[in-house]
Structure 1
Amino acid sequence: MEKIIEVSGVSYFYAEDDPWVLDDVTLSVNKGEWLSIIGHNGSGKSTLAKCLNGLIVPQKGSVRVGGFDTKDETNIWEIRRLVGMVFQNPDNQFVGATVRDDVAFGMENHGIPREKMIDRLAQSLRLVKMEKFADSEPHRLSGGQKQRVAIAGIVALQPLIVILDEATSMLDPEGRREIIKTMRTLNKEHGLTVLSITHDLEEAVNSDRILVMNRGKVVREGSPREIFKTPELLEKIGLDLPLAIKLRRLLNQRGISLQDTALTQEDLVNELWTLRSTM
């Protein structure tokens, strides 16, 4: 598959005497995939995200995005056109008095002609189901709605990659589901490459691939099914397992033999129903 991001031997520290926040990290991201990068706070996830759009440049190694090296300053604006970031707190991203103004702001900064701006604004709000709120004040929206507006602002710029940096951590469960569903639609139907930086393993379950980080290193990589086959590693580095994984383990301990295929609550219910029907 075509690689859109290539990270080779990247190491980074914030101050001369501090330990490496990233320590010899190597990874690649395929065009159109959903990659979740998981790890506890301080594992290097957010620092890695900043390396991917050129906000910081590593002291060692290289980062190439769409073929552009982030160390070459002449590439920075090209890279930032390719990569959009949605952060933890959407309030920190709002600059417009209305939703419409806010989504238009980034396009104005990129010098997009007015006719195209109007089309893209309408399309991006429609994609995130916020077209009815175009004239609303952003601070009056719910947390999930605010985050959808932030996503619309990024989508309007038509990047190839969107990085969700703990973008759902401040939302309630319903808000989380809304955002993940919206991004899943953009990923599957529009070919958007999505990197989800998170410590919420419930979100990571539906990824195409997962990277596990600990103390600045990539310690595990694989499909969700491969990663959750050995939940002991995730627990050891301080991550909270998805509810379905916990329940499956408890049921196995009580003599109800289940396979290791159920990753979501829906999967587990279906597996239990199948088991019941064969008894």
Structure 2
Amino acid sequence: MGKIIEVNDLCFRYYEHDPWTIDSVSLFVNEGEWLSIIGHNGSGKSTLAKCLNGLLLPEEGSVKIGGLDTRDELAIWDIRRQVGMVFQNPDNQFVGTTVKDDVAFGMENHGIPRNDMIVRLDEALKLVQMEEYAAEEPHRLSGGQKQRVAIAGIIALSPSIIILDEATSMLDPQGRQEIIETMRYLNKENNITVLSITHDLEEAIYSDRMIVMNQGKVLREGLPSEIFKEAKMLEDIGLDLPFTVKMRQALSKLGVPLSENALLQEELVEELWTLQSKI
């Protein structure tokens, strides 16, 4: 897999003479990967997300999407066609009076022929399991359903990358799980590259790789199993550990011989069941 996103020595600040909001950040994302970028509020992660689709441009360094530089004015619209963003509040993303109208809106703006639009609309709603709600008014949906509609509108545009910018932070646990499962499916089955910008470590557990940001810099990078070994570091920068990590720590203090690789609840349950069966 090639690198679909390359960030080199990126520096950005909103006002001249202010401290850097993004300070010499370098990272890459492989095609088809799920990368979580985590950090507390104010760590620079959401600003970084806006740099990745050209909403903000580097003051220093570079951001390349599919080999295209975001500062190239001729390439910026091609970049934005590659990158879809799902924001925190789904209500702020709706423009259509029905679900199908809302999903169609982006395609109309991109000049996609009507016959293609109909096919894409049906396929996108099926992928997020919202086809039976096509004629519903968006404001009548639950939070998780609204975000799935927002994702459908992006899928219909056939992006190669989807960025979730705190997209689950306003959802209840069920809605959050719905979005995570939807994105896992799109990532694995459709090979869509996923960037999850979040402070919710329960969401980050599902990623292939994690980057920890603090004060505008990359603090750590590694597999989820590697990052969660540094529990104190995560707590020191104001992040709340996932339930499974806390439970594993508590059980380990009691002498239960657990590995450090069980991050998902089902993995921890399976490991505990295996231990019980040996007693």
Q: Secondary structure at the match of 1:255?
A: coil
Letter in 2 for 1:256: V
Matches of 2:180 and 2:213, distance apart in 1: 21
Partner of 1:42: 42
Letter in 2 for 1:166: E
**What's the % identity of the aligned pairs?**
70
Partner of 1:250: 250
Tell me whether 1:186 sits opposite 2:180 in the alignment.
no
Paired residues for 1:135-150 under 5 Å: 135-150=135-150
Letter in 2 for 1:170: M
Matches of 1:250 and 1:35, distance apart in 2: 28
Matches of 1:262 and 1:183, distance apart in 2: 21
Partner of 1:175: 175
TM superposition shift of 1:194? 0.5
Matches of 2:152 and 2:261, distance apart in 1: 35
- TM-score norm. by structure 2 comes to 0.98
Letter in 2 for 1:112: I
TM superposition shift of 1:277? 2.2
Matches of 1:258 and 1:110, distance apart in 2: 52
Q: 1:192-229 deviations in whole A, cap 9, x for unaligned? A: 00000011111111111101101101111111111111
Matches of 2:128 and 2:256, distance apart in 1: 42
Partner of 1:215: 215
Tell me whether 1:18 sits opposite 2:14 in the alignment.
no
Letter in 1 for 2:8: S
Partner of 2:111: 111
TM superposition shift of 1:255? 2.4
Tell me whether 1:76 sits opposite 2:76 in the alignment.
yes
Letter in 1 for 2:193: T
Matches of 1:273 and 1:146, distance apart in 2: 37
Q: 1:63-115 deviations in whole A, cap 9, x for unaligned? A: 00011100111111000000000000011010011111100100010011111
TM superposition shift of 1:232? 1.3
Matches of 1:29 and 1:75, distance apart in 2: 19
Matches of 1:242 and 1:264, distance apart in 2: 9
Matches of 2:141 and 2:199, distance apart in 1: 25
Partner of 2:128: 128
Partner of 2:154: 154
Letter in 1 for 2:262: A
Matches of 2:265 and 2:121, distance apart in 1: 37
- TM-score norm. by structure 1 comes to 0.98
Q: CA RMSD in A?
A: 0.9
TM superposition shift of 1:253? 1.6
Letter in 2 for 1:197: I
TM superposition shift of 1:256? 2.2
TM superposition shift of 1:275? 1.7
Matches of 1:136 and 1:270, distance apart in 2: 40
Partner of 2:269: 269
Partner of 2:7: 7
Letter in 2 for 1:213: M
Matches of 1:90 and 1:124, distance apart in 2: 17
Matches of 1:256 and 1:193, distance apart in 2: 37
Matches of 1:48 and 1:115, distance apart in 2: 37
- Range with bigger deviation, 146-155 or 224-233: 224-233
Q: In the alignment, is the contact (CA less than 8 A) between 1:242 and 1:264 conserved in 2?
A: no
Q: Secondary structure at the match of 1:73?
A: coil
Matches of 1:8 and 1:236, distance apart in 2: 27
Letter in 1 for 2:209: R
TM superposition shift of 1:274? 1.7
Consecutive unaligned residues of structure 2, counting only runs of 5 or more, are none
TM superposition shift of 1:168? 0.6
